[in-house]
Chain A
Amino acid sequence: MASITLEGLKKTYAGNVQAVKGIDLAIEDGEFVVLVGPSGCGKSTLLRMVAGLETISEGTLKIGERVVNGLEPADRDIAMVFQNYALYPHMTVYNNLAYGLKNRGFKKPEIEARVRNAAKMLEIEEFLIRKPRQLSGGQRQRVAMGRALVREPAAFLFDEPLSNLDAKLRVQMRVEIRKLQRRLKTTSLYVTHDQLEAMTLGDRLVVLNAGQIEQVGTPMEIYARPASMFVASFIGSPSMNMVPLAYLKTQGQSTLLDDLPPDTDTVGIRPDDLRLTPPEAIHLTVEATLELYEAAGAESHLYVQLIGSKQPTVIRVSGQPPVKEGETLRFYVTRQALHPFDSASGKRTD
C-alpha cells in the first residue's frame, strides 16, 4: 500500500502532440481516485503512465516514497485491470492468476493459497480449471480482477474495466469493486468515461479535459460546485442547462440576479433544480414550451424551449408532465440553485 504522487506529469508524442499537459495530483494511501473525462482527454494515457506502459515525457511520478519514472511496470508494485481483460487465452484461470506470482518467484504453496483466497473472494473458485474462453463476460472480468488481487500490490489501476459489460452487470460489478476496495483498502486509480460510474465509485474524482485537470474533489463537491462549464455539463445526467444571463434578466425579477459576480454571463441550472411548483425560497419564474418528453420510469425528462430564447433546456421531474407536447408551462428555480459562469473563460465566477 502506498500513496501515488504525480508532479507535473506530461506526455508528448512524436510530432509534438501533447496528450497530457502537466498533471499534479496526490493520491493518498488507500484512496479510490477516479479519472473521468470524455474520450481523448488523456485519462487512459495518464493511467498507463502510472502503470509504466507509456513513458513519461516530463515530470515526476512517485509510488510511496520511490520515484518510479524509469521502472518497468513489474517493478512498480502495481496491478492493472484492462478494458478487454487481457486474460492469457491458453492458460486456465488458475494459471492466469498464478502467472504473475510465478514470475516473481513465489513458492508453490504460497501461490496456491493466494489464488484460492482471491478466487474465493471473487467467487470464481469453480472456474479455476477452465480456460477464459469458456467464461462469460462477467466471469472474465472477475478473473481479471483476481489477477490484480493475488499480487497484493501497492496500488490497483483500472482502465475502464466495466465498459465491455452489459448495463445490469456493470452496476453489479461496480458495487463489488467498491466493496472490495473498501475491504482491502488498496490505493486505486480508476479510469472511466462514465460519469455515473465515477460518481458512485470514487472517494475523489479528477475531471480531465484535453490533457489537463479541470477539477478535483469528492463526487458531491464536484456535483454541487462544478468549477467550470465543462465539469458542469460533464458531471450529472441529463447535463446541466446553460442559460444566458441576459435572457434571465428579461424575465423580470432581475434584481434577484444583481448580486451575481460581475463577470457572469451564463447561468447553469441542473435539470432537477427546475421545479413545476413554486418553492418557498426566493425564486425565478421561467416560461417554456414543452417540445418532447421522455418517460424514464421513476422520473421523466422534459425537453423544453424557453420562451423568447432558442436555448434548449432539460428538466427532470418525477412522474408525468402536467401539459401535452407543444403547450406552455411554467418553471421555478431558487436563487441558490444558480451556478454562475463566465462563458469566455468557462470558469465559475463565484
Chain B
Amino acid sequence: MVENRPLLTFLTHLILILGVLVVAFPVYVAFIASTHEPGEFVRGVMPLLPGDNFWATYSQMLGDGWQVAGAPPVWLMLGNSTIMALTIAIGKVAISILSAFAIVYFRFRFRLLAFWIIFITLMLPVEVRIIPTYAVVADLGMLNSYAGLTLPLIASATATFLFRQFFMTVPEELMEASRVDGAGPMKFFKDILLPVSITNIAALFVIMFIYGWVQYLWPLLVTTDEDFYTIVLGIKRLMASSDRVPAWNLVMATVTLAMVPPVLVVLLMQKLFVKGLTETEK
C-alpha cells in the first residue's frame, strides 16, 4: 500500500525516531560513562560527551578485569558467554529441527502424544524447574562446566513448534518427489528440507543466541569457578561490590563490550533473519 500524506509520514517518522531515541540513549550514556573517570558518572551532572579515559578503562577490563570486585578479565567472560550462547543456539536448532522432522514426516505410535509432551514443556521454562534441574546437573557432576551451563537450556519446545509449523507448509509433494528420486528420509532431510528451511534456521539461531547470551539465573547457580563466569554474571558482580561506590566506568565498559557479540550476530545474519521471519514463498 502506498500512501502519500505528508502529515502521516511526519507523524510516523516522529514516533519511530522517538522510539529509537528511547532505546539508543541509555546505550549512548553507558558508552559515554565508560570513557570518563570513575566518579564522573555519579557527580550529579552526567557528561554527554566522550571523556579521555577510553583506553585506560577498556584495556583494564579486557586485560586484568577488576579483581577487587571478583570479576575476571572481560575477554574470558566474553569467551564463556560466546561458547554458552553458541552451544545453546546450535543445540536448540539441531534438536528441535530433528524432533519437528520426526513429528511431521513419520507416522509412529504416540506421535501426537510426543508432540503434546514437547508442547507442554513450553509451560516449564528453566526458572520453574530450576531446583530439580540444578539437582540433576549437580548429581551428574556438571557444575562448573560448559555442559552444565548449556545442556539444561537446550531442549526447546518453542523451536520445535516453529519448525513443525514451517514443515507443515512445505508441500508434501517435495517429499514424495524425493522418494521417487531415490532419497531416503535422512537424505531428504539433508538435501531438501535443510536447504529449504535455511532462513528459518537463521532466524531461530539469532533469537536463540540472544536467549543464551542474556541468561543470568542459571549461570549464577551452576558456576562458582571464575573461569566459567559469563559476561552477564560479571556485570552483576562488578556492581555488587560492597562498601564502595561501584566503579561505573568499568561497569559501563563491560556493558558496552557485552553488547558487541549479539549485535554482530544480528548484523551478520540480518538478511537471512528478516527473510526467515517474513518470507512466505517456498
User: Are both chains from one complex?
Assistant: yes
Q: Mark A47-90, 1 if CB is under 8 A from B, else 0.
A: 00001110000000000000000001110001110111111111
Would you list which residues of chain A between 116 and 151 have a CB under 8 Å from chain B?
Answer: 133, 147
A195 to chain B, nearest CB (A): 25
A283 to B191, CA, bound (A): 67
Chain A residues, Cβ within 8 Å of B179: 52-53, 72-74
Chain B residues, Cβ within 8 Å of A103: 181-183, 187
A217 to B281, CA, bound (A): 43
A211 to chain B, nearest CB (A): 21
Question: Does B18 sit within 8 A of A, measured CB to CB?
Answer: no
Which residue on chain A has the smallest CB distance to residue B179? A73
Chain A residues, Cβ within 8 Å of B196: 89-90
Question: Which of B173, B180, B187 lies in contact with A78, CB distance below 8 A?
Answer: B180
State whether A86 touches B182 (Cβ < 8 A).
no
State whether B180 touches A73 (Cβ < 8 A).
yes
Would you list which residues of chain A between 82 and 107 have a CB under 8 Å from chain B?
Answer: 82-91, 99-100, 103-104
Q: Interface size (B, Cβ < 8 Å)?
A: 19
Would you list which residues of chain B between 176 and 201 have a CB under 8 Å from chain A?
Answer: 176-183, 187, 191-192, 195-196, 198
State whether B191 touches A74 (Cβ < 8 A).
no
A52 to B182, CA, bound (A): 12
State whether A89 touches B180 (Cβ < 8 A).
no
Chain B residues, Cβ within 8 Å of A88: 174, 177-178, 191-192
A84 to B174, CA, bound (A): 10
A52 to B179, CA, bound (A): 9
Chain B residues, Cβ within 8 Å of A87: 177
Q: Mark B160-173, 1 if CB is under 8 A from A, else 0.
A: 00000000000101
State whether B191 touches A84 (Cβ < 8 A).
no
Contact residues on A (Cβ < 8 Å of other chain), bracket: 20 to 34
Chain B residues, Cβ within 8 Å of A53: 176, 179-180
Q: Mark B224-263, 1 if CB is under 8 A from A, else 0.
A: 0000000000000000000000000000000000000000
Which of B176, B178, B181 gathers most chain A CB within 10 Å? B181
A90 to B193, CA, bound (A): 10
With contacts A82-B173, A82-B176, A82-B177 taken as known, whether A90 is within 8 angstroms of B195 at the C-beta atoms is yes
Question: CB within 8 Å of A: which residues of B?
Answer: 171, 173-174, 176-183, 187, 191-192, 195-196, 198, 281-282
Additional A-B contact list (19), CB under 8 Å, known A84-B173, A88-B177, A103-B181: A51-B180, A52-B179, A52-B180, A73-B176, A73-B180, A74-B179, A74-B181, A74-B183, A84-B171, A86-B176, A88-B174, A88-B191, A89-B282, A99-B181, A99-B183, A99-B191, A100-B180, A103-B183, A147-B181
Closest 5 CB pairs of A and B: A86-B173, A100-B181, A74-B182, A103-B182, A86-B177
